[in-house]
Chain A
Amino acid sequence: MRRSRRSKGNDWRRAENRGTDNSGSGGGVDTILAATRVGPGGRAVGLDVLEEMCERGRRHAVEAGVDGVTEFLRGEMEDIPLPDESVDVVISNGVLNLSARKSRALAEIFRVLGPGGRICMADLTVEGELPPEVANDQSAWAG
């Protein structure tokens, strides 16, 4: 889902000194967009569980000319490799649903955000019950 750019942009512009964490950064598109909106001294940090995706993000950041204000870290959203209160904004685009430990992931986001920090997430929700064949499938249960 790629929506609410305006809202995200408003949040990113608040990231003046510490930066923005993009959990589940994938190819780095959202991290690069965040990097264009951080304030002086700020930076955008992409987090992905796969080193290959981090490498891809770094390449894309170079191509976009924002490699000086971006960083891509390999890690899990349930154990974010960032210090306490080290970022101003966390964005996440369709990633939380991939976690089997969503409460743990949210606790980690809370930990790395500074006081007054903001989170903006795009994700899927369901209404009612899923068919048992879907709900019991390992590839779908994280949703």
Chain B
Amino acid sequence: MAERVFAGKLERAGFADVWVGGHRPFGIDEAALYPLFTTEVIEVMRRTIPPDHQDHVATGVIVKARKPA
């Protein structure tokens, strides 16, 4: 999910003051620690993603928002 899609979904749900920050690169090695990704998926990622991008295949973010009073 792209960051703008994330923020858009929050706004469509009714949230206000949507804030996205704390950006941090997330690489294949970190993805491999999560049970969500099977060994096969990790292998495909290593094979198909250029080596110079493998340490940043996603971005970790902190998202905050508020339900209007």
Contacts and interface: CB of A to CB of B under 8 A. Distances in A.
B67 A3 contact: no
B69 A116 contact: yes
B57 to A, nearest CB: 8
B20 to A, nearest CB: 8
Contacts of B51: none
B45 A4 contact: no
Chain A interface helix/strand/loop/mixed: mixed
A61 B66 CA distance: 28
A125 B13 contact: no
A7 B2 CA distance: 23
Interface string A97-139: 1100011001101100111111111111111000101100101
A3 B22 contact: yes
Contacts of B41: 134, 137, 139-140
B61 A133 contact: no
Given A1-B60, A115-B68, A118-B64, A103 B9 contact: yes
A39 interface: no
A143 interface: yes
A122 B67 contact: no
A116 B6 contact: no
Given A118-B66, A124-B58, A143 B36 contact: yes
A103 B63 CA distance: 15
Nearest to A92: B63
B27 to A, nearest CB: 11
A119 B48 CA distance: 36
Nearest to B65: A119
Contacts of A115: 67-69
Interface of B: 1-3, 6, 9-10, 12-15, 22, 24, 26, 34, 36-38, 40-41, 44-45, 48-49, 57-69
- Nearest 8 interchain pairs by C-beta: A116-B69, A106-B13, A131-B48, A125-B3, A124-B58, A113-B67, A115-B69, A117-B67
